[in-house]
Amino acid sequence: MRTKTFGTELGHGIRVLCQVGRDETDPSGHPHISEVSAVMFSPEECPEGFFKGQIIHLSDSLGEGIFWECDAHSQGLCDVYSFLLMEGKPLYDTIFGQVGDLFHLERLWIAPKHRGKNMGLACCAALLALFQNDCGYAAMKPFPLQWEGRADENKSQFLADRQKLVSYYRPLGFICAPQPDELQDEFYYRPLDGFTKILGYGRSGWRRVNKVRLPAMPEDWPF
Ligand SMILES: CC(C)(COP(=O)(O)OP(=O)(O)OC[C@H]1O[C@@H](n2cnc3c(N)ncnc32)[C@H](O)[C@@H]1OP(=O)(O)O)[C@@H](O)C(=O)NCCC(=O)NCCS
């Protein structure tokens, strides 16, 4: 297992610590998938938020063989493959066109007392910048976590809550993948090759910038 940690300031005194881990030695595991987790700490060093995601290493995998790895990993990654990476889907070229790896933003949560400062966006922007060199695309499904496993209970309220999240993430520049119908899972994606008009972060807080400056990368960054 190879792991790497990386930390940066998000503004408002909040610090994010990110860890990326990948086990290439176990062929029965997920040798082409890195786990990405990040924890946000308050100035008092209390954990106040978390992020979870994955990097799918499409550039060093064997074409469609990656489907079985995504399938075995989780329903989330199986959906990412089915909606975005399969033949005919928007990011099919990332596998066969060697466009690079895919960064999947799976979930984000911030403690209620720290909400309202857009720290979630600042965290995502920092991670997008961090993986920009290695990943050709980033993808996500804006999903209000309170509806996990129960989206059918009140479809209209679920769709309203999801729309709020879609608007929330809009400044990050994700675009909606074509959907067969409105009740399908909505996936969003964006290329990571030019950061126009997304959120940036700085010591004084988050702000709109034309380009996110990449944090310095460790020399032996393995991913
Ligand atoms: C999503 C989240 C990380 C954003 O934190 P933040 O950067 O501080 O931003 P806010 O919490 O102020 O949310 C921004 C807007 O999105 C809305 N929003 C955020 N999460 C929402 C949810 N789960 N359901 C409905 N609306 C939501 C907020 O109501 C707010 O809208 P408003 O400005 O009209 O009040 C945080 O709200 C959270 O932890 N939500 C619960 C977990 C979750 O659903 N995560 C989404 C995973 S994709």
The predicted pLDDT at position 205 comes to 53
Report whether residue 168 contacts ligand 1, using a CB cutoff of 6 Å: yes
Whether 123 lines ligand 1, by a CB cut-off of 6 Å, is no
How high is the pLDDT of residue 133? Answer: 79
Q: For the chain, give the mean pLDDT.
A: 82
pLDDT at residue 62 in the model:
66
108 lines ligand 1 (CB under 6 A): yes
CA 165–ligand 1 middle distance (angstroms): 6
DSSP 150-191: TTTTTHHHHHHHHHHHHHHHGGGT-EEPP-SSTTS---EEEE
**First-to-final CA distance of the chain:** 12
Q: Which pLDDT does position 134 carry in this prediction? A: 82
Strands (E), the chain: 2-11, 14-22, 33-41, 47-56, 101-110, 135-140, 175-176, 188-191, 198-202, 205-209
Kindly state the average pLDDT of the residues 35-43.
Answer: 92
Give the whole-angstrom CA distance, residue 50 versus residue 40.
Answer: 6
Asked if residue 127 has its Cβ within 6 Å of ligand 1, the reply is: no
Report yes or no: 142 and 186 within 8 Å, Cβ to Cβ: yes
Q: Report CA(95)–ligand 1 centroid distance (Å).
A: 32
Per-residue pLDDT reduced to its tens digit, 89-142: 889 888 887 788 999 999 999 999 988 887 888 889 888 888 887 888 999 999
Q: What is the pTM of this model?
A: 0.89
Query: Which residue from 79, 80, 109, 115 has its CB within 8 A of the most atoms of ligand 1, so it is best to mutate?
Result: 115
pLDDT for 202 beyond 80: no
For residue 219, what pLDDT is reported? Answer: 47
Question: Mean pLDDT across the stretch 13-26?
Answer: 86
Q: How far is the CA of 117 from the centre of ligand 1 (A)?
A: 10
Dihedral sign, Cα of residue 108, residue 211, residue 197, residue 222: negative
Spacing, Cα 196 to ligand 1 middle (Å): 23
133 in Cβ contact with 104 (< 8 Å) = no
172 Cβ inside 6 Å of ligand 1 = no
pLDDT digits (tens, 9 = 90+) for 53-78: 999 999 887 666 888 999 999 999 99
Nearest CA to ligand 1 atom 4: 120
Higher pLDDT, 145 or 64: 145
The encoded tokens of residue 201 equal 């972060």
